[in-house]
Structure formats: C-alpha cells, structure tokens
Amino acid sequence: MLHIINKSPQERNSLDSCLRVTQSGAVLLIEDAVYAATRGNAAEAKLREAMGSLKVYALGPDLDARGMSDRLIDGVTAVDYAGFVDLVAEHPNCQSWL
Amino acid sequence: MLHIINKSPQERNSLDSCLRVTQSGAVLLIEDAVYAATRGNAAEAKLREAMGSLKVYALGPDLDARGMSDRLIDGVTAVDYAGFVDLVAEHPNCQSWL
Amino acid sequence: MSEGAIKKFMFVNRKAPYGTVYALEALETVLITAAFDQDVSLVFMDDGVFQLKKGQQTKGIETKNFSPTYRALDGYDIEKLYVEQESMEARGLTEDDLLVDVTVMSRADMGKLMEEMDVVLSC
Amino acid sequence: MSEGAIKKFMFVNRKAPYGTVYALEALETVLITAAFDQDVSLVFMDDGVFQLKKGQQTKGIETKNFSPTYRALDGYDIEKLYVEQESMEARGLTEDDLLVDVTVMSRADMGKLMEEMDVVLSC
Amino acid sequence: MKFAILINEGPYQHQASDSAYLFCKAALAKGHEIRRVFFYHDGVNNSSALTEPPQDDRNIVVRWGKLAEEHKVDLVVCVAAALRRGIKDDNLAAGFRISGLGQLVEAGIEADRLVTFGD
Amino acid sequence: MKFAILINEGPYQHQASDSAYLFCKAALAKGHEIRRVFFYHDGVNNSSALTEPPQDDRNIVVRWGKLAEEHKVDLVVCVAAALRRGIKDDNLAAGFRISGLGQLVEAGIEADRLVTFGD
C-alpha cells in the first residue's frame, strides 16, 4: 500500500499516525510533508527508523519549492509528478493521511 | 496576555508552541483544544505542569458539544462565551495560536 | 468494472467532531457508499475516536448534533466499525464511553486491515 | 484612538510556505500595516521559519515564488524580524540558511516580546 | 470596550466563523461594541449570498447579516482574498461590504482588542 | 489505468488543488485515464466562475476547466457541499457539473485507484 502524507511532521500528527500502524509498503511525502525527509529536522530519526521496513519517497517539486532539495536524507528517493503517478499505479492501493 | 488555542493537542503543535514560549498570563482552550483539559488525555501532564505558572480556562459550550464536560481537569475553569469576552477584556492583549 | 461489482471501501476518521466539518460530511459519504451496496468499513483513530463519544450536547455552539447518526448506521447494514486501541487510550476513553458497539483493534491489526482495502478515504 | 496613533503590531508566522496560503496573505497584511505607519514586528517560529529559507524554486509546482518579498521588507522600513532559536534548530536550519537578516531569540525572550505588543496576528 | 474581529476560515468547513459569531453576540449582550468584523483568507467565503445550508442546520451567512443589521456591525470582506476565491458584489450577501486590507489595520488601531478566529 | 481524484480543499488556501492538478496532468501525459475529479468539502470552491486571481498568479479554476475540455475529464462538484458554500449553476465555472455524492462512490468503484488531496 502507498501511504501519502502531506503535512509537516512538526505541525501535525499524520506522519506519526501513519508510521504507528503501517508495517510495510511505501510512504510518499508531498507538500509540507517533504520537510520530514530533510537532514536536521526533528523527524529525521523516526523517518530513518521507518526506512527499515518502508520505502520512502519525497516529491521533488515540493522540495524545490521549499528550497530543501539539497538536504534530502540519504535513502529517500525524490520523484516528480510522473513518479508520483507511477507509485500510485504500482501499488495495489493507496491512502492519503489527511 | 490571553493565549487562545483552538486545536487538539494531539493533532497539532499549537498548544505545545504556546506553552514553550509563554511564562505567564492565561490560556483559553476553545473548539478542539478543549480536549487538552480533559482527564486521561495524553496532554494532561503538560497542561497540569503549565498550570503552575498560567491560569487555564476552557470554553464550556465546546466541552458540552464534545461530551467532555464531566471530565474537566481540576483547576481548569470552564467559561461560557460571556466569560470568553470577559477574559479578552480583562487582559491587556491577546493572541490566537492558529 | 461490471455491474454489481463490490469493492472494499474504508473510511478513516482521524478528526474530532465540530472543530471541522470532515466528520459530518464523511458520514454522508459513508451512507451513500452503503446505498451502492459496497463493503463498507469505518475506522476511528487519533482524534476521530472522539466522534463516537457519548453525551454530545451541541446547543451551546448552535450547531447540529450529528452523533445520533452513528447509532443509525446499523440500519444501513454498516456494521464494521473499528477503533484503534492506542488512540482510545491516549484520550482517556474506554469502550463504555462510545455511542455504538465497535471492534477495538491494535495498531498492527489496523495496519493489516488497511492493506486489504480497495478504496481508502481519509476524512 | 486619535489620529496618528501608533500601535505595536506583531505578526506571528508559524506555518510553512506553499502548503497553505497563510504565509503569502500574511505578507500582504504586513505591508499594509507598515503603510499605516504602525510599529511592525514579524516573528517566525515553528514551521514559519521555513518561509525564510534560501533557494526556493517554485516552477515545478506552478506557483508564484513570493520569498523575494522578504528581502524587500527593508524598503518598507520593516526591520524587526525575529526568529525563535529552538524552532530553527529543530528544523536543521542556521542563520546562514535564511534569506534575510534576523534577530535570533530564545523562546523565553520571544514570550516576553509578545507580552509587549498591542495587536498580535497569528498566520 | 471596542472589539475588532478577524475571521480567517470559511463557513461550515471550520468552527472559526461559528465561534466568532457567538463571541460577538456575547460581547454585544454585555454592552461592548464590535467595531468591525474583517474576513480574510477563506474567511471571505462567509459572505456568499448563494449559500443554502440544509434546513435543519444554521445559516451562517444570513446570521452574520442579521447581526450586522441589528447592531450596526461593519462586516468587511478583503477584496484581494475575495477575488482569488470568487466573491464579488454580484454574489455578496446582505450586510457585508468589500474593501481593502487597510480596513483590518484600521480596526486593529481603533479597537481596544483584536481577536482572531481561524484554523 | 483509470484514476479517480477526490479534492477536499478550496483553491489558494491549501496546496491540495494544485497538487491534484499536477498529478492529473502527469497521469494524462503518461496515457492514463482520469475517470473523474470529484470536489467535496471546501473543494467545491474550486468551481467558482467568479474567481479572479492576481495576473501574475495561476488561475486554478480556469486551469481545471481547460484540462477537462482538452482531455474529456469529468469534473463533478458535490451538490450538498456546494449548497452549503454558495456554489450553484449561476456561478459554476465552465467544465464543471454539479451532482450527488453517488458520483464519488461510482468513481471509486469504476476506477483502478482513487487518490485524495486535502488538508
């Protein structure tokens, strides 16, 4: 299953909630959620831990817009909107954690 | 200063942020923030700690709407909208932590 | 998809009632989905568990109390209501505090259940 | 209040840019407030510090990059920009990452500064 | 005392407009003055004349208009935010007027307290 | 593959509608089908014909209408949510139609994937 998160990890609990119940699959960070995948963010440790069992992606255009592309955590894959579409298509189902 | 919080303490960081920078004055919890003033909520401990230096109020009609009036933490004062108006008038300034 | 296809729809309720409209408008979607004879599951986690709290009295905020609708879901053959245990505990709630009978689930089981769905709507 | 009265206005920016419109529309209010010759302070805390991050490139999301406006504030005599140190550190940012010169403040000093204001607008 | 109110969210989606309305009613009942209610961001959607909520629900738009009429409250919708969101004189509800952000600043200067309601 | 899209937030206030639009454009460019875009909650505000953003900004409403026209995408606005928020045939932008929530469920049934964008 593809889990889509769009909120900053320090503003809301959606990333925490997703990681609490999800054991496998992939997480795509879009919009303000891309901050979770940047070095030095307070969420870095929990994201690294999640990467042990989940594949993590971040939307490149949203990283660019926020000036954060150059500090993406190693092991997180940046994708563009075409890659976003592929991720939805490749996984049997998806969920947006609003 | 009167600090007005309207978000659930477990969904967003507004109560945490307010308590981090505020050393004195009063906090009024309205809308979904009233859950912070109820027994058993994960925010109970931090709210009790804050009550050492801050006066804490919760909006009664919002507690009623959510079925939580009977579990208000001791030491938190429930007020109605008239009490909300009084609190704003009594304090020299106010801030809504949106 | 052919006529009469049945998909597994899950509605994930994570928001408190009244602060926003999501809980109310999600219920409208739930009822319509059941009318289409789909396989409907409702999940309540995080602040969403507050939607099911007994004793809601909305007169003071001059807003409609829609909590009785949860009791009526049964009449629409919507019987799969799941509550995540950790969310309930972190809010000081027990099953006795809830308006309706639910299945309480661990976070791990909740994650597994989500995996089995065809359509997951978060509200 | 009499003609020519000057009040202390503070704008508390706590939200990231682009995810919501608050940062952009708050800037519009800031500029107008300065045009009324008021005493304007801007605070950046929590995700609001991200508004000042250098290197924003919004072409890929087809949205206007409004970050150059922060550099222009100086020209409107808006010079009181405060950043809360704890917020910056929790996001891996340093003063070098920011578009403009700011005063970095501890959380305790930030709380004291807020107390001194006449009007505090949170965005 | 003179209050000014800022509303940043639209009707129904968030409780902000409801809370602000009930605050204003309580303030007026206590003899305070509501100097102005300013609608910004999605708050401008509170002024749509075309709103038709279900019959068993509150009509937030009409309610504001009535309050304005009965108590001479100035309801001002920000023109820039309104244009972005499709609010114009054509669909502006009774009791509201469209004007600039300066009206918010002026209200902040003239009122004793400015109280914000939003998301 | 057939996609259905659900948008829960209005234009400008949140990025949801922008993200959904760019997702749809990318999906169409890859040869996928967008079965339907359904606008719910404040999402209905994306269909206001009266929207007039600043000239140097994107026009979210017009952009959706053009996408619908060029690629025969069905843009459906929920009638109940729309009435609550003042969207009617009078101010409905080109390319959108107003219908019931059943259209969302139907899209969920018929599409291979339903992707939600919101707050």
CB-based contacts of A87, cutoff 8 Å, min separation 6? A2, A26, A28, A57, A79
pLDDT confidence tier of residue F51, bands split at 50, 70 and 90: very high
The pLDDT tens digits for D37-52 are 999 999 999 999 999 9
CA distance C123 to C112: 19
CA distance A32 to A12: 10
Are the beta carbons of F3 and F111 closer than 8 angstroms? yes
* F49 exposure class (CB count in 10 Å sphere: 0-12, 13-18, 19+): middle
Q: Name the amino acid, one letter, at B93.
A: N
> If you average pLDDT over every residue of chain E, what do you get?
97
Q: Extract the tokens encoding F20.
A: 């959904």
**How high is the pLDDT of residue B47?**
97
B/F Cβ contact: 3+ pairs below 8 Å:
no
CA distance F33 to F3: 6
Beta-carbon separation of A12 and B12 below 8 A: yes
Beta-carbon separation of E14 and C20 below 8 A: yes
C/F Cβ contact: 3+ pairs below 8 Å:
yes
Nearest CA in chain D to F18: D61
The pLDDT tens digits for A49-89 are 999 999 999 999 999 999 999 999 999 999 999 999 999 99
Beta-carbon separation of B42 and C58 below 8 A: no
Are the beta carbons of B65 and B34 closer than 8 angstroms? no
Interface test with A, best of B8, B13, B97 (most A CBs within 10 A): B13
pLDDT confidence tier of residue C86, bands split at 50, 70 and 90: very high
Q: Which domain holds residue F13?
A: 2-117
Hunting for tokens 């926020």 — which residue is that? A66
Chain B contacts of A11, Cβ < 8 Å? 12-13
Q: What is the largest CA-CA distance in chain E?
A: 40
B2-97 maps to CATH 3.40.50.1400: no
Interface test with D, best of B2, B15, B21 (most D CBs within 10 A): B21
Nearest to A84 by CA among A67, A61, A65: A61
Q: Count of CB atoms within 10 A of residue B24's CB?
A: 11
Taking each helix axis from N to C terminus, what angle separates C107-115 and A14-21, rounded to the nearest 10 degrees?
A: 90
pLDDT reading at D2 higher than 70? no
The pLDDT tens digits for C60-73 are 999 999 999 999 99
**How high is the pLDDT of residue C1?**
46
CATH code for the domain in which residue D8 is found: 3.40.1260.10
* B72 exposure class (CB count in 10 Å sphere: 0-12, 13-18, 19+): middle
φ, ψ for residue E90, nearest 5 deg: -55, -40
Cβ pairs A/F, distance under 8 A: 48
Q: Name the amino acid, one letter, at C101.
A: D
Pairing of strands E96-99, C103-105: unpaired
CA distance E21 to E7: 10
Shortest Cα–Cα distance, C23 to chain A (Å)? 12
**How high is the pLDDT of residue D1?**
46
Interface test with B, best of D10, D11, D14, D15 (most B CBs within 10 A): D14
Q: Does F21 touch chain A (CB under 8 A)?
A: no
pLDDT confidence tier of residue C4, bands split at 50, 70 and 90: confident
Beta-carbon separation of F108 and C9 below 8 A: yes
Beta-carbon separation of F19 and A30 below 8 A: yes
Number of structural domains chain F divides into:
1
CATH code for the domain in which residue E15 is found: 3.40.1260.10
Average pLDDT over residues C85-104: 98
Q: Which helix (H) or strand (E) holds C84?
A: strand C80-84
* B9 exposure class (CB count in 10 Å sphere: 0-12, 13-18, 19+): buried
Chain F contacts of E57, Cβ < 8 Å? 84
**How high is the pLDDT of residue D3?**
58
Q: Extract the tokens encoding B49.
A: 């700690």
Beta-carbon separation of B25 and D115 below 8 A: yes
The pLDDT tens digits for C14-63 are 999 999 999 999 999 999 999 999 999 999 999 999 999 999 999 999 99
Nearest CA in chain C to A94: C120
CA distance C79 to C94: 19
Number of structural domains chain C divides into:
1
Q: Extract the tokens encoding D52.
A: 């000042």
Active site residues of E: 78
Shortest Cα–Cα distance, F80 to chain C (Å)? 9
Nearest to A64 among D15, D60, D92 (CB): D60
Hunting for tokens 């004007």 — which residue is that? E99
Nearest CA in chain E to B32: E15
Beta-carbon separation of A93 and C118 below 8 A: yes
* CA D87 to centroid of chain Cα atoms: 13
Chain C contacts of A23, Cβ < 8 Å? 108, 111-112
Cβ pairs D/F, distance under 8 A: 23
CB-based contacts of E20, cutoff 8 Å, min separation 6? E5, E7, E37, E115, E117
Q: Extract the tokens encoding C4.
A: 């009469």
**How high is the pLDDT of residue C3?**
57
> If you average pLDDT over every residue of chain C, what do you get?
96
Q: Name the amino acid, one letter, at C9.
A: F
Average pLDDT over residues E58-78: 98
Nearest to E104 by CA among E35, E57, E14: E35
